[in-house]
Structure 1
């Protein structure tokens, strides 16, 4: 597929596609502890889109979603991978979602909490990653419980334990992994939200460019590119989003 030069220039005005990658969500991207190489579904999509444009790719790596979002808003990055949220819409054009991720609550084994509906009560302290989609959502939705914020999503469970909070909130897969590794912890049944992970680009790049990115995401879902990437990286607890 040959793209018009103005579209290529809209995404890569420097001749290189800069992709903002968030390591705070292990379902999307993570760093190999041995090689230091960053890989994952979002990296695969970034590589495929750079190939579509016919330009080199440079990854900009961040440890939190908020930093990753800011890189695209300020146009330090040309594309990014984020959970769709109203507060992130200003300055960014989102595609439809390519992956759905469950948000869950984690508590200690001896906690009296047994369901998601019991969390929003006065006196309950909920630990969440600062600036994450879970933080944005719970800030809007929780009316009685108080929210405390860890520096990043991977820090949620350590902060939850260190600060003796009542609940940890975040990516279900990450919480399950922490519970198995640490012991004495359990997830509340089900989920409290579903995160819609999408690609995004600076709004200033124009509607035509945004449509190209949207079409690319839909194509990657329909062709099983996203499903194959999830399987290749051994990702569980996430599913391919339905067609827009």
Structure 2
């Protein structure tokens, strides 16, 4: 009887040990599988971008419409021919992610959107994403946030606490930009009674300001930051409207959803890599 009891107890002990071994093996398997699953997810997020459905005007080349004359977003180097700037670097980074070459088509801002899908694949030129523009084109996810700012000469006595304080002043803006539209709305609605000088190029606005031809320049805050960093003894930012942040995106043709998706994936990867933080610090001194 004692021998039988001993045999039963031994059998139960062996079964318990087997069960524990099985649980340990399962735990090890789960612990191994979890990192592998996470790694697989991260690898997929940072993996090659699907370009199978993307069509370009020229095979293997992302052609970018750009108004080269809006520093520090887009400008020409000292040689007068080489594009440089925040948007230029961004376009090149997109090209690397998409695995294609990048070319720039210097285009006047007036009518730049009409060339999308005809003269170039997209527009990367400090383009504010708006509901009105979305009616005729697609946009990527935003790649930088922006505000409207008022810049004055460093020796100016003006105190600007809102756009209403621009009443009676001479204002310089770049033609058909968000700044132009905003100031024109203020004037047309009677909110202010001011003279607007709408220029083809933003450098002309700052030349007018420096020469005393206008009292203020209304411009994108990022552009203002760039000019202030380059000309700290000439200009200061008198006001920045942070009540309505604006976002810049890549504009593509309404039917080019494949390119939009590819660019969005590239932006996600560049964001994860810290690209934009480094580029903003370099070009805007932040």
TM-score by length of 1: 0.76
For 2:101 and 2:192, the matched residues in 1 are separated by 49
Query: Which string of whole-angstrom CA distances, capped at 9 and with x for unpartnered residues, describes residues 205-226 of structure 1?
Result: 2x34322222322332222122
Number of residue equivalences:
227
Change in Cα spacing, 1:234 to 1:158, as seen in structure 2 (3 Å) is: closer
Query: What's the counterpart of residue 149 of structure 1?
Result: 198
Query: What's the counterpart of residue 150 of structure 2?
Result: 105
TM-score by length of 2: 0.67
Query: What's the counterpart of residue 3 of structure 1?
Result: 50
Q: CA RMSD in A?
A: 2.9
Conserved in 2, the CA contact under 8 Å of 1:29 and 1:41?
yes
Give the structure with higher Rg (CA): 2
Conserved in 2, the CA contact under 8 Å of 1:22 and 1:65?
yes
Measured after TM superposition, the shift of residue 110 of structure 1 is: 4.2
Conserved in 2, the CA contact under 8 Å of 1:126 and 1:169?
yes
Measured after TM superposition, the shift of residue 128 of structure 1 is: 0.5
Query: Which string of whole-angstrom CA distances, capped at 9 and with x for unpartnered residues, describes residues 99-124 of structure 1?
Result: 12343212343444342344342x33
Measured after TM superposition, the shift of residue 135 of structure 1 is: 1.4
Conserved in 1, the CA contact under 8 Å of 2:53 and 2:258?
no
Normalized per residue, the structure richer in strand is 1
For 1:124 and 1:101, the matched residues in 2 are separated by 24
Conserved in 2, the CA contact under 8 Å of 1:100 and 1:194?
yes
Query: Which string of whole-angstrom CA distances, capped at 9 and with x for unpartnered residues, describes residues 134-169 of structure 1?
Result: 212333355324332122111112234557333211
Change in Cα spacing, 1:46 to 1:119, as seen in structure 2 (3 Å) is: same
Change in Cα spacing, 1:124 to 1:178, as seen in structure 2 (3 Å) is: farther
Conserved in 1, the CA contact under 8 Å of 2:72 and 2:283?
no
Gap regions ≥5 residues in structure 1: 238-244
For 2:152 and 2:258, the matched residues in 1 are separated by 46
Change in Cα spacing, 1:67 to 1:155, as seen in structure 2 (3 Å) is: farther
Gap regions ≥5 residues in structure 2: 1-47
Query: What's the counterpart of residue 57 of structure 1?
Result: 102
Normalized per residue, the structure richer in helix is 2
